[in-house]
Every structure is written in C-alpha cells, then in structure tokens.
Amino acid sequence: MANSGFQLLGYFLALGGWIGIISTTVLPQWKQSSYAGDAIIMAVGLYEGLWMSCASQSTGQVQCKIFDSLLSLDIHIQTCRALMVISVLMGFIGIIVSVVGMKCTKVGDNNPSTKNKIAVAGGALFLLAGVCTLVSVSWYATQVSYHFFDPNTPVNARYEFGSALFVGWAAACLTMLGGSFLCCSCVNEERRGQQYYRQSQPSTAREANVKSSPPDKGEQYL
C-alpha cells in the first residue's frame, strides 16, 4: 500500500510538471524587455517566446505576431522548439505508460514484475522529458544573459528573463522528481522481493531435510 502511494505521488508530481512544460512551450514570455539603465522609460513592453513576439502597451493592449519563417530564426530558438516539443510528447507517452504500470490500476498485465518494469519505463520517460526541458530553458536563459551583458548590445535592446523560464525550471524539476519516484518505488519493491525470497529459501530447505531424515535405530526398536 505504501509503495502504491509512493507511485501515485510520483505520478501526480510528473503530471503537474508535464502541464507546466506545455505552459512553458506556449507562453511568449521567454524573454522580456529590460528597464535597467539610466532614465529608461518605455511605454511599450516587448516579449518574445519560441513561437511569437508580443508588444504590450501601457493602455493594456497586447499585440502578438507569430514568427513568419522557421529557418530565419536563431539556432538556439529552433533547438529549444524541438526540445520542448519532444518533452511534451515524451511526457504524454509517460503518462499513458505509467498508468498501465502502476499497482493501483488494473490496466494491462496483472503480473507484478511486468507492471514494475512498465512503471520504470514511464518514470524514465518523465525523467527524459524533464531533462530536455531543463536543457532548453537553461540554454535560452544563457543566450539572454550573454546578449544582456554584451557591451555591443544597445541599452534599449536588452532583454531579461521572462516568467516562462521560471515556469520551465519548476516544471522540469517536478517532472524529474516524479519520474524518480516512479523508478525508485519499483526498484525498492524488486529488492524487497529478492530479500524475501533469500530469507525464505534456507528455512524451506531445513524443513525438507527434517522431513526426509531417517529415524534413529532406538526409535525403530521401540
């Protein structure tokens, strides 16, 4: 029962992280215009993500424009796009595989060993999805930092970290934590089963020897 609860905890953590990965992929606030500098006053806030760039005016009106060409984008944006899409797909597959492999479900094979292996596979998919998200978000943040501290970048053209990056870091941590829980719970269960088998095997052998031992000569005469 405790192992099933551990699996459920890992599953819901990974599920929440996967939802965060989707939000990070869609949000346009991967970087936002910086207000650092001497007497910089901007009436328009600029945001940019993986798919579009937006301009938010002081009146509250927001205008967004989807990137027209894929090949004209920087290489880090194209790579981050691919990594985030892969993360979403692996997380979706991990959700389905984990449901089949968890002990609290009756989907698929009822063999405990087989279900443990399936649950480990689902946890591994969550781990890979979290790693891809972490690499994508961290690489994008590195590029934003590089251009911000580059002296050749104009002050009014500098960007800072957007809210989507922080959502991505949190989502990656949740997904990897949930995947680790799924993998560790199944590994501990298999080790527990092996220890139980090793402890029960000598006692069974002793019982067999006692039953098969011949009676003493004195007992035969009696």
pLDDT digits (tens, 9 = 90+) for 131-182: 999 999 999 999 999 988 888 888 777 889 999 999 999 999 999 999 999 8
Residue 62 resides in a domain: no
Would you say the C-alpha torsion 149, 84, 128, 5 has a positive or negative sign?
Answer: positive
Tens digit of each residue's pLDDT (9 = 90 or more) over 115-129: 888 889 999 999 999
Instruction: Specify which residues 48 forms β-bridges with.
Output: 31, 53
Q: What is residue 38's three-state secondary structure? A: coil
Which residue segment(s) compose the domain that 85 sits in?
A: 2-28+71-201
DSSP string, 157-203: G-EEE-HHHHHHHHHHHHHHHHHHHHHHHHHHHHHHHHHHHHHHHHH
Residue 50 resides in a domain: no
More confident site: 198 or 115: 115
**Which pLDDT score, from 0 to 100, does residue 205 have?**
46
**Which pLDDT score, from 0 to 100, does residue 216 have?**
54
At residue 130, does pLDDT exceed 50? yes
Residue 46 resides in a domain: no
**Which pLDDT score, from 0 to 100, does residue 167 have?**
96
For the beta carbon of residue 176, count every other beta carbon within 10 angstroms: 22
Residue 179 resides in a domain: yes
Percent of the chain with pLDDT over 70: 77
More confident site: 115 or 196: 115
Domains contained in the chain, number: 1
At residue 6, does pLDDT exceed 50? yes
Instruction: Specify which residues 203 forms β-bridges with.
Output: none
**Contacting residues for 119 by C-beta, under 8 A, at least 6 apart:** 7, 97, 98, 101, 102, 103, 182, 183, 185, 186
Q: How confident is the model at residue 43 (pLDDT cuts 50, 70, 90)?
A: low
Tens digit of each residue's pLDDT (9 = 90 or more) over 54-79: 888 877 788 888 988 888 888 999 99
Residue 35 resides in a domain: no
Residue 166 resides in a domain: yes
CATH number at residue 196: 1.20.140.150
Range scoring the smallest mean pLDDT among 84-88, 91-95, 96-100, 166-170: 96-100
Residue 136 resides in a domain: yes
Half-sphere exposure for 163 (CA within 13 Å, toward CB) = 8
Residue 175 resides in a domain: yes
Give the mean model confidence (pLDDT) for residues 25-43: 75
